Structure 1
Amino acid sequence: MNDISQHETGVDAHGVDWRKSISDHVAYALLVYTALQIFVTVKALAEGFSSLLPYLALVVLVAAIIPGCRWFEKRWKNLSDEDAHDPALAPAFRRDISVLWIAAIGLPLILTGIFKAIF
């Protein structure tokens, strides 16, 4: 049972596994980004259009963020087992997840503002 909880949290006897932690952050950030796109941006677009354009925009906007998220994940996934537990990487990790979360939350809100200004 102890092994399961260590695996789920990304922490083991060596400390935090940056590879597991970034994967978790990317997954949750994509969920938040998609939810914000659905409930904020698509709603704003739907007010100006009665067609399928808002839904097509949703697909495009969600697909557009995936390469950026993959870049964050790939950057950390290629770490060796030793580097994956190196506490010296904590500042770089915090910087990357800060950028990831700012983008996940900020982009839908910025896009909504742009769409409302245009339409």
Structure 2
Amino acid sequence: MSELSHRREGADHSGSKARDWRKAMSDHVAYALLVYTGLQIFLTVKAMSEGISSIFPYVALVILVAAIIPACRWFERRWTGISDEAASDEAYAGAFRRDTIMLWLMAIGLPLALTGLCKAIFAVI
């Protein structure tokens, strides 16, 4: 197999498959949404249901999950719009790492912050 056809298949000079930043970000967004939703269910809704005994915690869950989707889509759109050539360019590694760190901080940090806020409010009430 010639080097040119090897490159067309997405491999770099060493023969390993080049990373596609678009697919990688899409994967991170999907997993971050799952983690965010799981944390909301098990942390925030539990904290809310301890302070409020109604359907409100479940309605809040739907709103909180729906509210995070535009932010996740923003991260994904930033990367899906790049060209095929840029999609495997290692020069984007730093920007990709920054965006994935921000995405995961949001996915994990927001539920933890909301849980803390709920517990603080219910401790005062």
The TM-score, its normalising length taken from structure 1, stands at 0.89
- Residue in 1 that maps onto 2:38: 35
Tell me by how many angstroms 1:12 deviates: 3.7
User: What RMSD, in angstroms, separates the aligned Cα atoms of the two structures?
Assistant: 1.2
- Residue in 2 that maps onto 1:114: 117
- Residue in 2 that maps onto 1:71: 74
- Does residue 53 of the first structure (1) align with residue 51 of the second (2)? no
- Residue in 2 that maps onto 1:3: none
Provide the aligned length of Structure 1 versus Structure 2: 109
Mapped partners of 2:10, 2:115: distance in 1: 41
The code of the aligned residue for 1:108 comes to P
Structure 1: which 4+ aligned runs deviate by more than 4 Å?
none
Structure 1: gaps spanning 5 or more residues: 1-10
Tell me by how many angstroms 1:26 deviates: 0.1
Answer with 1 or 2: which has the greater Rg. Answer: 2
Q: Write out aligned runs for 1:4-19 (5 A).
A: 12-14=10-12, 15-19=18-22
Structure 2: gaps spanning 5 or more residues: 1-8, 13-17
Tell me by how many angstroms 1:92 deviates: 0.2
The TM-score, its normalising length taken from structure 2, stands at 0.85
Tell me by how many angstroms 1:13 deviates: 1.4
Tell me by how many angstroms 1:54 deviates: 0.3
Q: Percent identity at matched positions? A: 69
Mapped partners of 1:66, 1:74: distance in 2: 12
Tell me by how many angstroms 1:65 deviates: 0.5
Deviations 1:32-91 (A, max 9, x none): 000000000000000011100000010010011000000000000000000101100000
